[in-house]
Amino acid sequence: MLLIFPPALQAQALTPPPEGAKAQAPLSLDLSSALARARNENPMLRAAKARVEERRGLITSTRADALPQLTLVGDFTRARDVSILNSGFADSAAAFGLSPNSLVGARSIYTSQANLTQPLFYWGKLGTAIDIAKMGEQEAAFGFTTSELDVLHGVAKAYLGVLSAQAEQEVIESRRSTAEQFVSDVKAKLEAQTATELDRLRAESELLAVIPEALQAEAQVKRALEVLNGQLGLDPKTPLSLAQMGLPEIGAKPAGAERSELAQLRQQEAMYRANEKIITSDLRPKFDLSASYGYQAGKTENLWKEPYDTWKVSVTMKFPIFDGLRSSGKRAQNTAQLEQVKQARIDRERSVAIEQSTADRELEKAIALNEAARRAHDATVEALRMSRESFEQGLITSLDLLQAERAERQAESQRRRAELGLWSARFDQRRSLGLPPL
């Protein structure tokens, strides 16, 4: 019986690489360097940083509303003013020998002026607006911290996903190598008439059964690498060489930090409470100072000369009497938004408490599963050693040996999954405490 491999494997073996193609050297990373790269290259973190910078710019623009505004004006106007013809003097102009045409004419006016405006008193509106802008910057900083933790833990989970897929692939490749060696051994024994045709069929069946699993494991590794590359801001096809992680140190529960999600919601509450002061100030009198100084002349040579200088100083009070209930609507809207944020914070606090207790239980379970998987793997390794000795002595059949081989590989796969699951549970616990993966 000849072994016929699937077309996919045949194509991989027979298709030559493109001429001039040069394999890209894999990028070597451990978890620490992967997290450091994500901090600098992840697009979501860059967007969160940009939001913080946006809020800082908002502080500057808000503060400008409370500072003096100075404007320089240069103007040229040419006009024909006939308002004198509509006055009482036009009716008596004929008595003085003046015609209407002599009273009007086109005139040119040149103006050069500096204008100054300054808010004087707004019942705390401008100062409160600046405070809210500063709160907004802090709120954006909390949002950045949340995004950073989400991204870093996403990278850590993607890193574990690659290691898990690679471990599964290694186990399956080991099964295939073992199956190929077993086929070779059975054929040799068949020629020596120490094995049967049934033994050969069983060995070849085991080898053919591993091939689809190997293809699936390879696809899972490629998919996991693409996800990790995306988190790191790399091209999805970038080859990576990841360092193994070993077992995490199991110690006392780390001290947690304030969850940035809760701090962000509390900051939003403070912003809405401060906004109430701004709404109230809109209903009170406001005082503004405006001043101007410059020159106005009909000829350019008279500019910047006396007596063509002109100036004006005024203090203006504005007292809103009725705004169509606009302020009342704003207050109701602000109160409702404050209540929404408050309830969202309360709900999030409960969710965080549940998340922390769940993470603690999952970590305890992962520790127990890892210990059980290690013991089970040690047992299956010893059982496989004894099965091989028994098969060499003819005490068991090839089917028994194949089952022992399969049990050992499954135990190895479970051991590696339990080890990575312990890391995953540790990461979940640190995330629930508001801490980065490492």
Q: Which tokens sit at 12?
A: 């991989």
Higher pLDDT, 15 or 146: 146
CA distance 227 to 220: 11
CA distance 381 to 434: 41
3-state SS record for the chain? CCCCCCHHHHHHHHCCCCCCCCCCCCEEECHHHHHHHHHHHCHHHHHHHHHHHHHHHHHHHHHHCCCCEEEEEEEEEEEECCHHHHCHHHHHHHHHCCCHHHHCCEEEEEEEEEEEEEEEECCCHHHHHHHHHHHHHHHHHHHHHHHHHHHHHHHHHHHHHHHHHHHHHHHHHHHHHHHHHHHHHHHHHHHCCCCCHHHHHHHHHHHHHHHHHHHHHHHHHHHHHHHHHHHCCCCCCCCEEECCCCCCCCCCCCCCCCCHHHHHHHHHHHHHHHHHHHHHHCCCCEEEEEEEEEEEECCHHHCCCCCCEEEEEEEEEECCCCCCCHHHHHHHHHHHHHHHHHHHHHHHHHHHHHHHHHHHHHHHHHHHHHHHHHHHHHHHHHHHHHHHHHHHCCCCCHHHHHHHHHHHHHHHHHHHHHHHHHHHHHHHHHHHCCCCCC
Residue 98 has pLDDT above 80, yes or no: no
Q: How many CB atoms lie within 10 A of CB 427?
A: 24
Average pLDDT of span 164-186: 82
Residue 73 has pLDDT above 70, yes or no: yes
* Contact (Cβ atoms closer than 8 angstroms) between residue 289 and residue 69: no
Please give the share of the chain, as a percent, with pLDDT higher than 70: 93
Of 71-75, 90-94, 190-194, 310-314, the one with minimum mean pLDDT is 90-94
Residue 270 has pLDDT above 90, yes or no: yes
Q: Which tokens sit at 195?
A: 């094995």
CA distance 343 to 366: 34
pLDDT digits (tens, 9 = 90+) for 352-367: 999 999 999 999 999 9
Residue 142 has pLDDT above 80, yes or no: yes
pLDDT digits (tens, 9 = 90+) for 364-394: 999 999 999 999 999 999 998 998 888 888 7
Residue 20 has pLDDT above 60, yes or no: no
Q: Which tokens sit at 173?
A: 């490749």
Residue 348 has pLDDT above 50, yes or no: yes
- Split at pLDDT 50, 70, 90, the class of 1 is very low
Residue with tokens 């699993």: 213
**Is omega for the bond preceding 26 within 30 degrees of 0, making it cis?**
no
* Contact (Cβ atoms closer than 8 angstroms) between residue 207 and residue 166: no
Average pLDDT of span 56-64: 92
pLDDT digits (tens, 9 = 90+) for 229-257: 988 888 889 899 898 887 888 778 888 88
In one letter, which amino acid is 242?
A: L
Q: pTM to 2 decimals? A: 0.77
Average pLDDT, the chain: 86
